[in-house]
Amino acid sequence: MPLFTTLYDWVLRWSAHRRAPWALGVLSFAESSFFPIPPDVMLAPMSMARPQRAMALATLTTIASVLGGILGYAIGVYGLAIIEPLIVEAGYWPAYTLAQAWFVRWGFWVVLVAGFSPIPYKVFTIAAGAMAVAWLPFVLGSLIGRGARFYLVAGLLAWGGPRAEPWLRRYMERIGWLSVFTLIIAALVLTR
């Protein structure tokens, strides 16, 4: 049974549920501070299924993600010693130490780029708090980076709309496995 196509069909069905925007907001908040699944997996099919609501969904995702990032920042400030073993156990420690080095070198720009990139954002939110990155630039960088990412995803899939769905479904297995391999390669590169 195809793994990613089955998952895609499930998310697409769930995205039509009347409470789907609430779930999207919760997922966006959680992903920025502790949860491993990015909100794009819900935002994309919801934007494709309801193109007229795509920008509102991108706004919801951005705001919830930045609020979750503020929680991640607070975790870094007040609870790093408590969660450090969890970061190590989850395999995020090399990425966390790399994020710290980047903060020392580039500051605000790291937050902006991390918000847009596929690198786990929670690593950067926690590291920003632990490194005492200035709070206002952290929030502004998060708004710009996360907003750019989510508006791009929502806009592209709203533009493609229902006519893009057959193409996306046909290539979902390839896209899914390509994403997995890309993340593995990125993790290997970042941990060296």
Residue 190 has pLDDT above 60, yes or no: no
The model's pLDDT over 17-30, given as tens digits with 9 standing for 90+, comes to: 888 899 899 989 99
Q: CA–CA separation, 165 vs 117, rounded Å?
A: 24
**What's the domain range around 66?**
3-190
**10, 152, 157 from 163: Cα distances, Å:** 19, 18, 10
The per-residue DSSP string of 86-107 comes to HHHHTT-HHHHHHHHHHHHHHT
The count of domains in the chain is: 1
The answer to whether 3 and 180 are in contact (CB under 8 A) is no
What's the one-letter identity of residue 118? P
Q: CA–CA separation, 131 vs 115, rounded Å?
A: 17
What integer pLDDT is reported at residue 55 of this predicted model?
97
DSSP 3-state assignment of 111? helix
Q: CA–CA separation, 53 vs 158, rounded Å?
A: 8
Average pLDDT along the chain = 84
Q: How far is CA 141 from the centre of its chain?
A: 14
Residue 120 has pLDDT above 60, yes or no: yes
Q: CA–CA separation, 165 vs 51, rounded Å?
A: 12
Q: CA–CA separation, 175 vs 40, rounded Å?
A: 14
Q: What number is the average pLDDT over the span 35-47?
A: 84
